[in-house]
Amino acid sequence: MAIRRIRTYPDTVLREPAEPVTNIDGKIQQLIDDMADTMYNAPGIGLTSNQVGELFRVIIFDTSPKDEPNDLTVLINPEIVEADGVIVDEEGCLSVIDYRADVKRAECVTVKGIDREGNPITLKKEGLTAIVLQHEVDHLNGILFIDRISKLKRELYKRRLKKLLKQGESS
């Protein structure tokens, strides 16, 4: 197990759609373990393989409260098959540094995929977990949460990020 570098916007790998997993081999199992180490170390509540530079349709998440034991969920080749209601909540992202914004999502989603052993899995989730699932599936499709906010807010973030990156280069 290892902690991998989380790719951050504007890294182009974040805009590439991930490929379906056809064989859950040792490489995929290692990737899942590394993603878990990386997510918990960050700390975050969700992570996709393309956020660590691997273009496979793999997501992990853990929305359990911080004072409770970890409850890691692994979902391979996830697909949102149903979405109901509307919720607006503040989102952040390990790949979008120093920014949070309100995003409109479905309040309840049903997601189908397979677990790390290759067993079919269907999750029907609402609230925070539904938001996380939609956020992570977006990542697999090359979509960031900043693509779901107004153009003005997105442009303001891009300008601020440019300044931050410039300051980092000069220090």
Check 68, 91, 117, 136 and give the catalytic one: 136
Pair of tokens at residue 32: 């899942």
48 near 17, Cβ under 8 Å?
Answer: no
Q: What distance lies between CA 113 and its chain's CA centroid?
A: 16
107 is catalytic: no
Separation CA 22–CA 84 (nearest Å): 30
Separation CA 121–CA 73 (nearest Å): 11
14 near 95, Cβ under 8 Å?
Answer: yes
Active site members:
136
